Amino acid sequence: MYKVVVVFFCAIFLTACSSAPYHGSNNPSVKITEARVDLSDTDKIKQILNQQYDDWHHVQYRMGGASKKGIDCSGLVYQTYRTKFGFDMPRSTKSQSKIGQSIQKNKLTAGDLVLFKTGIISRHVGIYIDKGDFLHVSSSKGVMISNLEDPYWASVYWKAQRVQ
């Protein structure tokens, strides 16, 4: 019985971010900004992402969340791309992993999506800032900035996508 309980809780924990429910891209509570930001303007993108961190760093993780009451990794990407960059974005990590064009890790620029395989079926997503740093939501620490060279993130790195 103990093994069944442990396996059950591990499965729930490992699928947290990738299994967030998709509420559709027309969620009326998350408005698309009027002006679309030029994603090739890396200085502006870095500034926006650092401001987004300042505005959200106190927010804790909540599976399926997309507000300051709690947010998950794909919710932060969804929020940021819609409200700050003016791009419609799917809500799930799985769908976000298919957006745009695949790029090599050494070609990352501000605004690119960085994706990770954090378990057998679970995935995690963040937004690249600069010098290995990326904005994301940790299930234990909430909204934060981490570095791709951190041993954990380096070991679970999967791929990167450039939104166009």
Cite the active site residues: 73, 124, 136
Distance CA 101, CA 161 (A): 5
Helix/strand/coil for 33: coil
What sections of 15-139 are H helices per DSSP? 42-56, 73-80, 93-96
Beta strands in 1-147 (DSSP E): 66-67, 70-71, 101-103, 113-117, 123-130, 133-138, 142-147
What sections of 15-123 are H helices per DSSP? 42-56, 73-80, 93-96
Question: Residue 96 — φ and ψ, nearest 5°?
Answer: -65, -30
Counts for the chain of helices (H) and strands (E), in that order? 5, 8
